[in-house]
Amino acid sequence: MVSFYTRHSLHAALMGHHMLKRVHFPSSPLPYMLVAPQLAITLVFFIWPASQAMYQSLLIEDAFGLGSEFVWFENFEVLWQDQHYLDAFLRTAVFSVLVAALSMGTALILAGFAQRVVKGAMFYRTLLIWPYAVAPVLAGALWVFMFNPTLGIFPYFLEFVGVDWNHYLNGNQAMALVIMAAAWKQVAYNFLFYLAAMQSIPNSVIEAAAIDGAGPGRRFVTIILPLISPTTFFLLVINMVYAFFETFGIIHAVTQGGPGSATTILVYKVFNDGFVGLDLGGSAAQSVILMVLVVAMTVVQFRYVERKVEY
């Protein structure tokens, strides 16, 4: 795309040299008015709260916000000395990578199967988007019931294959449960994007490969996967941000970070320390760190992963 526009404008510039000295548009307030609502939303709902969080991270405040003391970076220093906080980084990385991989992988497989179905497409696509509309804390509640060691249907079946399910005591089982719940909620969203991407691949390309003797599996790996790589990249960014920021509701409903601290990921600590424990400064400091982390991660993704993407 970039090269296309560069070439195009170069061409226009060369042509213009002969015909007009300068191509210029009359200046108008219209473009500014058109972007103004978006800018306003960004300022009010992102820049302003983010700056508030940064300011708050430098304060020590009581629970009601009645008294506060400016302490520079003390809240951050306390965090760096807290081994339990540092442990949460690795846990968050494991959680986020697995949530993204599981939800994107499942969606990719489902979309691969579903793309040929044309009859009733509207109907099943509508049904498949439903889980995306479920609030994270409710998604968590559903999985809590299904996996309750006493009442749940899954532990009942797992017992037949010799698995003693108790995520209240077993940290790995608890982690597996919150990963499944978080990934499940995101599958519908990923599915829609993958399906749209696959349907935009020209049939002629697939047919040509088929004529050359490539089976469905080969066609999927060598034709479809590379052609949908922009979608995969977009979904990777979206899913990582989702796993980092939006999963605290699921964890609150399913494990409350336990057993021990087996499922205490960074964003859950932000939520729990801030909204349950009312440690506003400490929570704000954690959310600033999380913000910086996700910005850095997204930059890395755009710089290094995007290079492998063919548009």
- Stretch of residues binding other proteins (CB under 8 A), selected from 133-141, 167-175, 179-187, 189-197: 167-175
Return d(Cα 19, Cα 70) in angstroms, integer.
64
261: three-class secondary structure by DSSP: coil
The residue (of 62 and 207) whose beta carbon lies closer to other proteins is: 62
The residue (of 85 and 244) whose beta carbon lies closer to other proteins is: 85
**In this structure, are residues 172 and 258 in contact, taking their beta carbons and an 8 Å threshold?**
no
Residue 227 phi, psi (nearest 5)? -70, -25
| 221 is a contact residue toward other proteins (CB under 8 A) | no
| 140 is a contact residue toward other proteins (CB under 8 A) | no
**In this structure, are residues 164 and 110 in contact, taking their beta carbons and an 8 Å threshold?**
no
Amino acid at 157: F
The residue (of 28 and 172) whose beta carbon lies closer to other proteins is: 172
| 260 is a contact residue toward other proteins (CB under 8 A) | yes
| 162 is a contact residue toward other proteins (CB under 8 A) | no
| 55 is a contact residue toward other proteins (CB under 8 A) | no
Q: Which residues of 302-311 are buried (b: 16+ CB within 10 A; e: fewer)?
A: eeeebeeeee
**In this structure, are residues 116 and 162 in contact, taking their beta carbons and an 8 Å threshold?**
no
Q: Is the dihedral of CA 268, 269, 272, 275 positive or negative?
A: negative
Residues 72-91 that bind other proteins (CB under 8 A): 78, 84
- Stretch of residues binding other proteins (CB under 8 A), selected from 3-11, 133-141, 250-258, 290-298: 250-258
Tell which one of 125, 134, 154, 171 touches other proteins (CB under 8 A): 171
Q: How far is the CB of 169 from other proteins (least distance, A)?
A: 5
The residue (of 180 and 235) whose beta carbon lies closer to other proteins is: 180
| 306 is a contact residue toward other proteins (CB under 8 A) | no
| 155 is a contact residue toward other proteins (CB under 8 A) | no
Six-digit token string for 307: 């290079």
- Stretch of residues binding other proteins (CB under 8 A), selected from 47-55, 93-101, 275-283, 300-308: 275-283
Return d(Cα 104, Cα 109) in angstroms, integer.
9
The residue (of 16 and 277) whose beta carbon lies closer to other proteins is: 277
The residue (of 136 and 149) whose beta carbon lies closer to other proteins is: 149
Residues 174-193 that bind other proteins (CB under 8 A): none
Return d(Cα 309, Cα 272) in angstroms, integer.
38
Return d(Cα 120, Cα 108) in angstroms, integer.
20
Q: How far is the CB of 67 from other proteins (least distance, A)?
A: 7
| 277 is a contact residue toward other proteins (CB under 8 A) | yes
Look up tokens 């990921």; give the residue. Answer: 265
In three-state form (DSSP H/G/I as H, E/B as E, the rest C), the secondary structure along 115-171 is CCCCCCHHHHHHHHHHHHHCCHHHHHHHHHHHHCCCCCHHHHHHHHCCCCCCCCCCH
The residue (of 131 and 258) whose beta carbon lies closer to other proteins is: 258
Tell me which residues touch other proteins (CB under 8 A). 60-63, 67, 69, 78, 84, 148-151, 166, 168-171, 256-261, 272-273, 276-279, 281-282
